[in-house]
Amino acid sequence: MDYMNAYNSRLMSPTEAVGLIHSGDWVDYGCFLATPITLDRELAKRAGEVADVKIRALGFPGIAAVAEADPEGRSFKYNSWHFTGGDRKLHDRNVCDYIPLFYHEGPGYYNKQDICTDVMMLRTTPMDNKGFFNFGVSNSFTHAQIASAKKVIVEVNENVPYCHGGNAEQVHISEVDAIIESSNETMFSLPEPKISDVDQQIAEIVVAQIENGACLQLGIGAMPNAIGKLIAASNLRDLGVHTEMLCDSFVDMYEAGCISNAKKKKNIGKFVYTFALGSKKLYDFLDRNPSCSSFPVDYTNRLENIAINDRAIAINNAIEIDLFGQVSSESHGTRHISGTGGQLDYTYGCYHSKGGKAMICLSSCKEDRAGNKTSRIRPFLEPGTITTLPRVVVNYVVTEYGLVNLKGKSTWERAQALISIAHPDFREELLDQAKSMKLLM
């Protein structure tokens, strides 16, 4: 194939590209920073022209233009596999719906044809001299989406870092139907989260549980960021990385000499991840870095691939936990906040690693704008709240008041343990509630 001739024959304007979308189509967007920002804006201009175009996105960086352009939902029906801050705002306005996702199963939904895709649109690097477009920091289930789609539209952006992959990290020109060249927007950067005193206290408890040679998975937010900074300042060595999300903290730990990836049982010497989200520092670190490998999520989050590495450590946040040990990390009542993500995958997988630990971290209470405090450890989850982790899966729970292990514990032992790490202002009330629920005598 003459790759440049093939490229030029598929090159078109954004207006022409979104003209390939018809009423009633299912349209998939690339995941996270593979989201086609230019094409999303252009498609939004067709509000009132098309009807019942259904969009699926995952981790949209910002607010989807198609949802804002059509609040009545006549032209576009916007759906998300995992809510971002923008998606939450849209959901509050009733213009965004959540799609439940067991993250490691994502590629299977497409491969098994549980769902269909008419048009797949994604952002990539420019084409290389072999005819490939690299997905950059967003592997996830992108290739499965492409393979299932009737049409594939690529939005080229020169600022997307070229990321080496273990597999399925690129698409060939022969699989592409249309190409647009964007205005090369800069990559979305996460603002550095403010680390609170409580985050710092939790981080100190967690880091004390990590040994040399451990293999890390970190979630998103201030607390994991605090953990990364503490590790970077520690004497921990030969840490490995097998994670769902790669964040700035991993760069800090690597530059401090804490990460070598030398003690891993699989993908030795490699950072393994399925998507990255952070700052320019992270994206520059990943660009053409042969020590980093992006894989599809059915590889990174496959239970046996997590568990095969010794001393695998999962560190994730939660919104609340009840006295039975049920964890919610994705909704507050019926208000959806984020998604299941890979928390269930890594909590289960890391526990089954030799010497592995899975830690769910949360502050003991939360405070509203009026200064009123409520406990995050509750007698039972608020009605309508989604259970992210069933009680049988939960291993360690950490607040600023300590760490408890729920594995093998009876219902009364669980209640007792969780109350012991609740905020002191709520312990007596929780004890009374546990007794009324017949969890304690």
- Residue 290 tokens read as 């042969």
340-358 per-position pLDDT tens digit: 999 999 999 999 999 999 9
Q: Do residue 177 and residue 298 come from a single domain?
A: no
Q: Does 72 fall in a domain? A: yes
Domain count across the chain: 2
Is 68 considered catalytic here? Answer: no
The stretch 225-229 carries a mean pLDDT of 89
Q: Which ranges constitute the DSSP H helices of 256-342?
A: 280-286, 297-300, 303-307
Q: Does 34 fall in a domain? A: yes
Domain, as residue range, for 62: 3-181
Alpha carbons 124 and 159: distance in angstroms, whole number: 9
Q: Do residue 384 and residue 292 come from a single domain?
A: yes
pLDDT at 16: 98
Indicate whether 389 pLDDT > 90.
yes
Closest to 316 in 3D by CA, of 352, 277, 346, 281: 346
140-172 per-position pLDDT tens digit: 999 999 999 999 999 999 999 999 999 999 999
Q: Does 322 fall in a domain? A: yes
Catalytic choice (244, 320, 330, 400)? 244
Q: Which ranges constitute the DSSP H helices of 265-410?
A: 280-286, 297-300, 303-307, 343-351
Q: Does 186 fall in a domain? A: no
Instruction: Give the CATH number for residue 273.
Output: 3.40.1080.20
Bridge partners of 377, per DSSP, are 321
Under the banding of pLDDT at 50, 70 and 90, the label for residue 223 is: confident
pLDDT at 216: 98
Give the CA count within 13 Å in the CB-facing half-sphere of 302.
Answer: 13
Alpha carbons 239 and 216: distance in angstroms, whole number: 7
21-43 per-position pLDDT tens digit: 999 999 999 999 999 999 999 99
Boundary (domain end) residue, out of 146, 181, 216: 181
Under the banding of pLDDT at 50, 70 and 90, the label for residue 441 is: confident
Instruction: Give the CATH number for residue 85.
Output: 3.40.1080.10
228-265 per-position pLDDT tens digit: 999 999 999 999 999 999 999 999 999 999 999 999 99
Boundary (domain end) residue, out of 113, 148, 181: 181
The stretch 212-219 carries a mean pLDDT of 95
Q: Does 28 fall in a domain? A: yes
pLDDT at 225: 84
Closest to 418 in 3D by CA, of 358, 366, 367, 375: 375
